A and B are shown apart, each in its own frame.
Chain A
Amino acid sequence: MPTWGHSHFVVRALESLLAQELADWELVVVDDGSPDDTHAVLEPYLADPRIHLERLEQNEGLGAALNRALDLARGELIAYLPSDDVVYEEHLETLAARLEVEPEAVLAYSGVRHHGDRVSEGAIEGEALQLVQVMHRRTADRWVERDELTTDDLERMLWSRLRARGAFVATGQVSCEWVDHPAQRHKVVREGAYSGLNPYRSRYGVRRPLRFHSSVGNRTDEVELYRSFRERPETPRAPDGLTILLVGELAWNPERVLALEERGHRLLGLWTPEPWGFNTVGPLPFGHVEDVPRAGWEDAVRRLRPDVIYAQLNWQAVPFAHEVLTRSPDIPFVWHLKESPFHCLGEGTWPRLVDLCTRSDGQIYTSEELRGWMTAMIPSPNGHLPPLVLDGDLPKREWFDGEPSARLSKADGDPHTFVPGRAMGLDLELVDELARAGIHLHLYGEFTGEGVTWLQAAERLAPRHVHRHGLVTQADWVREFSRYDAGWLHVFRSRNGGDLRRATWDDLNVPARLPTLMAAGVPPLQRDNAGSTVAMQRLVREPGVGVFLRDARELRDELLDKAHMEPLRHRLQEVRGQFTFDHHADRLIDYLRLVIEARA
Chain B
Amino acid sequence: MTQGIDVVGLYVRDQDEALTFYVEKLGFQVHADVRNGDYRWLTVQHPEQPSFQLGLFKPGPPVHDAATTQTLCEMVAKGAMPPLVLVVNNCRTAYERLSALGVEFTQEPVDRYGVVDAGFRDPSGNGWKMIEARAKSQPGSQ
- A and B together in one complex: no
